[in-house]
Amino acid sequence: MQKKKFKTESQKLLDMMINSIYTHKEIFLRELISNASDAIDKLYYRSLTDDSVKLKREDYKITIEADKDGRNLIISDNGCGMTKDELENNLGTIAKSGSFDFKKENSDKTDVDIIGQFGVGFYSAFMVSDKITVVSKAYGSDEAWKWESEGVDGYTIEPCEKEEAGTTITMHLKEDTEDEKYSDYLDEYTIRRLVKKYSDYIRYPIKMDVETEKLKEGTKDEYEKVIETETLNSMIPLWKKNQSEVTDEEYANFYRDKFYDYEAPAKVITQKSEGLSTFEALLFIPEHAPFDYYTKNFEKGLELYSSGVLITEKCKELLPDYFGFVRGIVDSADLTLNISRETLQHDRQLKVIAKAIEKKIRTELAKMLEEDREKYEKFWAAFGLQLKYGLYEGYGANKENLKDLVLFTSSKDKKLATLKEYVSRAKEDQKSIYYACAETVDKALMLPQVEAVISKGYEVLCLTDDVDEFAFKMMHDYDGKEFKNVCTDKLDIATEEENKELKEENENSKEMLNFMKESIGDKVFAVRFTNTLGDHPVSLSSEGEVSVEMEKVLSKMPASEGMSPKAQTVMEINKSHPIAAKLKELYETDKDKLAKYSKILYAQARLINGLALDNPSELSSLVCDLMI
Ligand code: ADP
């Protein structure tokens, strides 16, 4: 009979499968069982609306048979089956999942990666077989067809006999080699183990005839061998089981297979609800953020089922953005199957479920924070940024949900602290939560204002992510204590007396300070004396809503194009530093020099606050003038 050729793409994939060095070849069984289950699903759903389908729910089954003598592993189902055209189109071409496109784009990746990440369906059977025969009869048709292939050469297709509708796949296993014992796949124990591992939650029974020894009837000690048909899978989806019945390994395997992660999840959360809404949820918090997590390409969402039947693979309505990293499954009997993506958005029931899930995730995270700090800090390293965005993006609406889940590094011990911890350690009369922004914690701690605040016995939170200060602004306060940027906000750490003195000093030196501001130009809004710099001579601060740090962040945003709001920068000079007296002296004796000093001080202040110099060579000339 004439052999037909595979389409080029399929041929390449096949070649890859046949010569695969992939170490988990065993996944072929999972792939074939899933296909069988999908085929049964198709027929079963047809039966719901089509009276001509006579099978009942309990008639459906998948069977596995190990023909040791013939070295064949046989998998059958009584699902929808395939017509001749379908056999050719489905098995002769690779049309699906985009796994091959992925391979092309990532030609540096090995086959191991694609097989591991995507599974490759039917063709994976060629990793273990040297010949595959598929006999199939489409439901309702009276012809059956036999498709057969020994690999890349092509395939044949011819009419054949088959009684029941459905598909039977016969794999002739490859010869054993030193590294691979393909005949293991005929071993009852191996098959049992693989079904449990990968296909336990398949909704239809996976049956196999097994040989057992039984006491012969009418005897006390005579045994005989009998063949019994056993169902190998428990059929209950993992999410329908109680957490106590499932091992960590089972959850981890399920998660890895389903969500294409290499690692086990950091946390498994299960939820059963029977109040306002009835649903089960099985949720996972990944150990690390996926590589595209903080990009536009990432799509959040949970798999949504209605009584065990998939409605959509990514229901984004079920998760708030700030918990977008959570993966998992929600199954509810309250949702109708024919719900569409459009109506999902407005579904009241779905909103109730989403709310319950949000609360559950929050409670579990709070528990982790309380009971396993190390684990929580690892979680925080992966997804903390997302929670802080959540505070910011909700314009404060998510404050109550997130305020006790966020961590910031404290000046106290350079360790992460919750806001609750900060407040519990605050001085009795402390009215504010002090923070400082910089690129790193060390840089924040070096800021003159920070040193000054710490020296007065206060703790300062070091904010190092762009979003941090925006999140604080949205929150406004925690537990009645207002957030205060030690560099820009009016602090209440000086005594009334000290503040009065400062006010007088600024008043008396008004003209000089103004002269200094004019010498620097429009880059500063004002020059002022201050009493919050400790031993340091100078620093930058700002007035109004936008701080120096915020200006930096806003100007980096793609849409800003120079139009982003600017901070009203104030140069602050330590009123008690010897430089203050020198400046006053120069104002009387040498204004030219005072102008130059003003520029030098401004440049220094920029450096201290982590800003680039507008004109570095001017600074160099000014300093050299002083040296010669
Ligand atoms: P996938 O399952 O990802 O679509 P496969 O290569 O595993 O890719 O299968 C290709 C197609 O062949 C399936 O989409 C399905 O239409 C058909 N198919 C495979 N196995 C069966 C089966 N046991 N019964 C009916 N159709 C099947």
User: CB-based contacts of 385: which residues, under 8 Å, 6+ apart?
Assistant: 294, 465, 467
Minimum CA distance residue for ligand 1 atom 12: 90
Distance (angstroms) between ligand 1 centre and the Cα of 32 equals 8
Quick: pLDDT tens for 247-280: 999 899 889 878 888 899 999 999 999 877 899 9
3-state secondary structure of 322: helix
**Closest residue to atom 3 of ligand 1, CA basis:** 121
Does the beta carbon of 35 sit less than 6 angstroms from any atom of ligand 1?
yes
Please state, in angstroms and rounded to a whole number, the distance separating the CA atoms of residues 471 and 398: 10
Q: Tens digits of per-residue pLDDT, 286-345?
A: 999 988 888 888 999 999 887 766 677 889 999 999 999 999 999 987 776 555 555 666
- Whether pTM exceeds 0.75: no
Q: List, for residues 478-517, the tens digit of each pLDDT value.
A: 999 999 998 877 777 778 888 899 999 999 999 999 999 9
**Nearest CA owner, ligand 1 atom 23:** 36
Q: How far apart are CA 478 and CA 434, in angstroms?
A: 11
The pLDDT value recorded for residue 340 is 56
- Can you tell me which atom of ligand 1 is nearest the CA of 166? 24
Q: For the CA atoms of the chain, what is the radius of gyration?
A: 35
Residue 476 in tokens: 């406004």
Strands (E), 307-377: 309-315, 327-332
Ligand 1: does its nearest atom lie under 6 Å from the Cβ of 122?
A: yes
For ligand 1, atom 7, the nearest C-alpha belongs to 121
**Tokens describing residue 185:** 């796949």
Domains of the chain plus CATH, in order, are 11-230 (3.30.565.10), 238-373 (3.30.230.80), 406-485 (3.40.50.11260), 496-627 (1.20.120.790)
Cβ partners under 8 Å of residue 614, min gap 6: 523, 606
User: Which of 16-30, 73-87, 314-328, 357-371 is predicted with the least confidence, judged by mean pLDDT?
Assistant: 16-30
CA triple 284-287-289, angle to 5 deg: 95
Mean pLDDT of the chain, nearest integer: 88
Question: Ligand 1 mean position to 86 CA, how many Å?
Answer: 9
Q: What's the gap in Å between 386 CA and the centre of ligand 1?
A: 39
Dihedral in degrees, nearest 10, Cα atoms 436, 440, 442, 445:
-10
Query: In whole angstroms, what is the distance from residue 236 CA to residue 230 CA?
Result: 16
Within 13 Å, how many C-alpha atoms sit on residue 335's CB side? 32
**Ligand 1 pocket, 82 CB below 6 A?**
yes
What is the sign, positive or negative, of the torsion defined by CA atoms of 354, 360, 364, 369? positive
Distance in Å, CA 126 to ligand 1 centroid: 15
Helix extents (H) in 509-547: 510-520
543 Cα–ligand 1 center, Å = 66
Per-residue burial over 99-130, b if 16 or more Cβ lie within 10 Å, else e, is bbeebeeeeeeebeebbbebbbbbbbbbbbbe
Record the tokens describing residue 577, joined without a space: 């530093």
Which has the closest alpha carbon to 419: 511, 481, 334?
A: 481
Does position 104 have pLDDT exceeding 60, yes or no? Answer: no
